[in-house]
Amino acid sequence: MGTSSKNLTQKYTRPRVIWSVIAALILVIALFGIIQFSDKPESPTRPVAIDPISATGSMIGVKPASFRQISEFREGNASRLKLSGEAEAGAVIVLTNRGERLRQTLVNELGQWGVTLDVEDEPMVLEAQLYRGENIPSIRSEETVFRLPVPESEDIATANYTTPALIMVTAPGSPSRVIQSPFGGAPTSGPLSLSVIDYDFTGGVIITGTSSVPGRVRIYAQESVIGETGIGVGGRWNYIAGRMLRRGELEIRAELIPAAGALNAPTEPASISVPFNFLRPLSENETDGSGALSVNFEPLQWQVRRTLIGGGGQSTVIFSPDAAK
């Protein structure tokens, strides 16, 4: 009786041991696959479909994709564009160029993402959509990255270009950030610079610049004061105006008013004047039909004009340092 009981126990114990070993092997293989997938920030072989129903901007509790660092560099004979930013941890970022899928990458547990792209000869209009899972609408970032190469044209051959392209980040209703200027810099007077003028198709204007001296910046149009703005953290200043400027050619001037007792305040007044052509809105037949983008190239300034999703449009004017008066 004792021997039969021992054999019966061995009969049922051995299969359980075998199945336990098999289950452990399956678990190890599954964990290895998860680790391998997590170690690859870019996954071109497993594309995620962009939900046709998408929301622009942030949803409650969700952090949409943003661009934090952008740089262009040479790798051998090729130019590369490195982009990184922040987004909802664990989500998938799908990058598009002029509306066509370009790359996707995972957002790590710290809410960071990054990709390196090949630079194209044609204008690049890069946008990011955040994808969190099936049946959940993707979230489109409000920011757009433009890379616009210097055109090969005899009409603008006299311009002093120092970089191969304009790279800037824009968002509707917000000041644009110039990452790389084809002119190599912006109009400057002592500690004061005037970087960009943005305006929308309704007539709203944003004038942006920097100052290494704290204080305020007074803005003039055709020698008439139109307002003042403070200089923020990091020396960046923005002046936002409604529909107060007429269409046509204007002279815009920024004047630095240093704070009392400010260190390194200039002994001479620091002011910058630039010629500004406030153009009428684009019509549908004035865009190039692929990304609704139009660029006015002039020797001392570029004006980037585009239509926006949902209607309206925005223009960004960047200036050569030689444009300053």
Q: What is the pLDDT of residues 198-220, one digit of tens each?
A: 999 889 999 999 999 999 999 99
Tokens 């509790």, located at residue = 61
Of residues 42 and 159, the one with the higher pLDDT is 159
pLDDT digits (tens, 9 = 90+) for 94-116: 999 998 999 999 999 999 999 99
- Strands 54-56 and 138-140: what pairing? parallel
Report the 10 Å Cβ neighbour count for 174.
16
pLDDT at 37: 38
Contact by Cβ (8 Å): 92, 105: yes
What contacts 40, CB < 8 A, 6 or more positions away? 106
Q: Name the residue with tokens 């433009």.
A: 146
Q: For 280-321, what is each residue's pLDDT tens digit?
A: 887 755 654 444 788 999 989 999 998 887 778 899 999 999
Domains in the chain, please, with CATH?
Answer: 54-142 (2.60.40.10), 174-323 (2.60.40.10)
- With 60 as the cut, is the pLDDT of residue 161 above it? yes
CA-based nearest residue to 141, from 151, 150, 130: 130
Give this prediction's pTM: 0.79
State the Cα angle at 141 between 70 and 314, rounded to 5°: 85
Residue 23 class from Cβ within 10 Å (0-12 exposed, 13-18 middle, 19+ buried)? exposed
3-class state of residue 17 by DSSP:
helix
With 0-12 / 13-18 / 19 or more C-beta atoms within 10 angstroms meaning exposed / middle / buried, residue 110 is: exposed
Long-range Cβ contact pairs of 257-262 (< 8 A, separation 24 or more): 257/215, 257/216, 257/217, 257/218, 257/228, 258/213, 258/214, 258/215, 259/213, 259/214, 259/215, 259/216, 262/213, 262/214, 262/215
The pLDDT value recorded for residue 296 is: 92
Q: What is the DSSP letter of 123?
A: -
- Is the pLDDT confidence value at 39 over 80? no
CA dist., res. 212 & res. 190, Å (int): 9
